[in-house]
Each structure stands twice: as structure tokens, then as C-alpha cells.
Amino acid sequence: MNLQDQIGALEAGVDQLIQSVAAAPAAHSADAAQPAAPSPDDKPTLEIGRPSQNEITMTIGGQTVSLHPLQVGQLIEELANARASMQPEPPPGIPPGWRFASTRNPVMAAQKQSNGDRLLVLRHTGHGWVPFTFSPDMVIQMYMMLTQR
């Protein structure tokens, strides 16, 4: 099952869960004790598991899918592309306590753009290939920052 199929299965599971919760009060007899109706704001929770080094499990609304390295990479790319268009943007400064995995001496590629900008693509071991575009002024600032003693 590919990532799109797994996401579809999760979405179908969440839809089934919502439908069964909505139908549950109608299924009880009038003299049976009924639990409180769920709030419209109640949403299925996301649970992430790590059963092995090369596997991540995601559970939403009781539906679990297992993702392996290539699928995790696909998911990271899709989430990063979606997040790039969302508001609010990530904080401008590094938040206290932020956890991260850094990549020492990443593989990189650079390319000059037709408008004079530079495209720099770095390979992060967790995020995959991460592209950045820099104006000529920013390239100079970055060079100065990296060569400062």
C-alpha cells in the first residue's frame, strides 16, 4: 500500500469514526443510559509510534498505518510543502527547547538563477533535500557570517 493509499485509509477511518459517533445516540434504546454527546470540537487524535528504527506508525481515530523510510520522506515533503503556505509562519527565532537533528557537512548543490539569485539545496539526513534561494546581497551576508572569527 503506497502513502496515498494509506492516507486515504486514514481519512476513510476518520470519516467512519465520525459517522459512527454521530449515529451512536440513535442506536440506543430510550430507556438505556446514554453517554454525553461528543462536542463538535472533538477530533480524533494523532498518535505516533516508533516500533523499529526503520518504521513509524501513525494512528488517527483508531486506524493505524505503518510508514517505512521512503514513505516517511514522502510525508515530510508533502507536509513541508503544505506548511510553507500556512499561517502563522514558523517563529523568526529559534524557540527555547527546540529539538532538532543536525547534519554535519551536508551534501549540497548550488545553481545560479536567471535573476541573479542563487539556489542552494542541502541534503539533511531527516528532512531530505531542502532548497533555499538567496539574493546576491544575502549570499554576501552569509559569506561574511560564515567566515567571521
Q: What is the tens place of the pLDDT at every residue in 6-62?
A: 556 555 554 554 554 445 444 444 454 555 555 667 788 999 999 999 999 999 988
Cell 531542502 sits at which residue? 130
Residue 138 main-chain phi, psi, to 5 deg: -70, -35
Mean per-residue pLDDT for 55-73? 94
The answer to whether the beta carbons of residues 134 and 118 sit under 8 Å apart is yes
Please give the Cα distance from 122 to 131 (Å, whole number): 6
Q: What percent of the chain has pLDDT over 90?
A: 68
**Averaged pLDDT, 74-99:** 94
- On the question of pLDDT at 112 being above 50, the answer is yes
- The number of helices, as runs of H, and strands, as runs of E, in the chain is 3, 6
What's the confidence (pLDDT) of residue 16?
Answer: 55
The span from the CA of 121 to the CA of 68, in Å, is 24
What is residue 14's predicted lDDT score, i.e. its pLDDT? 47
Higher pLDDT, 43 or 82: 82
The per-residue pLDDT for 43 is: 84
As a whole number, the mean pLDDT across the chain is 83
Which runs of E-coded beta strand occur in 53-117? Answer: 55-60, 63-67, 108-112
